[in-house]
């Protein structure tokens, strides 16, 4: 790990982005941030971060730039919108690392177009580990892109992630993350059903996650979201149901593109669509709130 302080930019200060920036500040890096809602930058500014007025200003003043936003449309806006990264005249030698989860073809297209516009390199580097991983610097990162660009981005990546795996060329990181999300999205629905069944059968559901710990049914989502499902506590929002729905939707689109058979995740995609239509409060809330569907 290169421990020399760098000037690092960061775009997107949501549940994941804010703790990632705090990790960078704690590591001694100079950090400049931008967020679509400027008020979200106030706390980080008080902790030592600089605040840029535009995404372009973030890239212009930084060696490396991280992005962590909601979806492909938000990435597109940060890169190609008014005052976006692409408006910087020359960004040769700079590397943009996108931690967002978007479709692989979007990652390839955005990265190629940005490099053509101003020379900036692009890595798709989605992460797994949720808010706790972002807070502790223990995220798992899947990277698509050029090996030389990955090496240049290590001062950023090695602070926020405990494991970084180069999965292949552009788009490979996003493909890996979607595989990850297929497992997670199905798992959390099953966990919510499990709590509903156990509660109706008279089991002390507060003991369910501890009882299953270490067995074949155990998982990080069970230990993270199970206690909230048991207690009926669905805040704060650590991972929103709508993000699970987005990602499992990408998986279904990819299955159609490549002719892959994914009947279980396709069925779950339909369940997430039903939640969006029938329970908007659950859909926009934390994954632990899925238990409300099965009480």
DSSP assignment of 238-263: SSBHHHHHHHHHHHHHHHHHHT---H
Q: Catalytic annotation on 246? A: no
CB atoms within 10 A of CB 140: 17
Distance between first and last Cα of the chain: 48
Residue bearing tokens 């939707």: 249
Q: What is each CA distance from 244 to 177, 186, 230, 284, in whole angstroms?
A: 12, 9, 21, 10
Joined tokens for residue 137: 């610097």
Tell me whether the omega of the peptide bond preceding residue 236 falls within 30 degrees of 0, making it cis: yes
User: Pick the catalytic residue: 40, 70, 94, 177?
Assistant: 177
- Neighbouring residues of 216: CB distance < 8 A, sequence distance ≥ 6: none
List active site positions: 177
């Amino acid at each position: 790990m290169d421990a020399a302080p760098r000037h690092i930019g960061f775009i997107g200060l949501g549940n994941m982005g804010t703790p990632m920036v705090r990790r960078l500040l704690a590591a001694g890096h100079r950090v400049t941030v931008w967020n679509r809602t400027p008020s979200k930058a106030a706390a980080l500014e008080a902790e030592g971060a600089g605040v840029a007025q535009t995404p372009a200003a973030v890239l212009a003043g930084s060696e490396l730039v991280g992005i962590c936003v909601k979806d492909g449309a938000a990435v597109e806006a940060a890169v190609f919108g008014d005052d976006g990264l692409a408006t910087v005249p020359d960004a040769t030698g700079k590397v943009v690392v996108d931690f967002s989860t978007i479709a692989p073809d979007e990652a390839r297209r955005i990265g190629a177009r940005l490099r053509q516009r101003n020379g900036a390199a692009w890595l798709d580097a989605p992460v797994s580990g949720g808010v706790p991983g972002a807070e502790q610097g223990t995220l798992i990162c899947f990277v698509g892109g050029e090996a030389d660009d990955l090496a240049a981005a290590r001062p950023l990546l090695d602070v926020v992630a405990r494991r970084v795996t180069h999965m292949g060329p552009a788009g490979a990181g996003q493909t890996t993350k979607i595989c990850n999300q297929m497992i997670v999205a199905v798992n959390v629905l099953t966990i919510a059903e499990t709590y509903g069944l156990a509660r109706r059968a008279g089991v002390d559901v507060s003991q369910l996650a501890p009882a299953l710990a270490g067995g074949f049914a155990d998982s990080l989502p069970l230990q993270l979201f199970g206690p909230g499902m048991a207690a009926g506590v669905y805040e704060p929002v650590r991972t929103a149901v709508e993000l699970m729905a987005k990602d499992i939707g990408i998986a279904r689109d990819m299955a159609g593109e490549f002719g892959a058979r994914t009947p279980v995740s396709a069925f779950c995609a339909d369940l997430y669509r039903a939640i969006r239509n029938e329970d908007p409060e659950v859909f926009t809330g934390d994954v632990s709130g899925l238990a409300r569907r099965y009480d």
